[in-house]
Amino acid sequence: MKTVLGSYVVRVYRFGKNQPHNLVGVVEEAGVTGKKAFTSLTELWGIISSSRAVRDDTKTERKKISNRE
């Protein structure tokens, strides 16, 4: 599973009333110069998930805590 740890400004300029996945807008990552345009929810997620602020939790080892005493 991927975890997004960044801050973003998302501007949605247009979306379909009956099709909310059809979005048009731009994304800015806080602290990064530039904007990226998107034309669908899939493209928006692609921009955010390809960011430097995304961490792949499957590669992160977590300490297992037992509730047994």
Q: Where are the domains of the chain?
A: 2-56
What is the number of other CB atoms lying within 10 angstroms of the CB of residue 62? 6
Q: What is the pTM of this model?
A: 0.64
Please name the residues in contact with 44: beta carbons below 8 A apart, sequence gap of 6 or more.
10, 23, 25, 27, 38
Q: Which string of b and e fits 26-45 if b means at least 16 CB within 10 Å?
A: bbebeeeeeebebeeeebbe
What is the tens place of the pLDDT at every residue in 5-22?
788 999 999 888 888 788
What is the tens place of the pLDDT at every residue in 17-52?
888 788 899 999 888 889 999 999 999 999 888 876
Q: Please name every residue paired with 14 in a beta bridge, in sequence order, or none if there are none.
A: 24
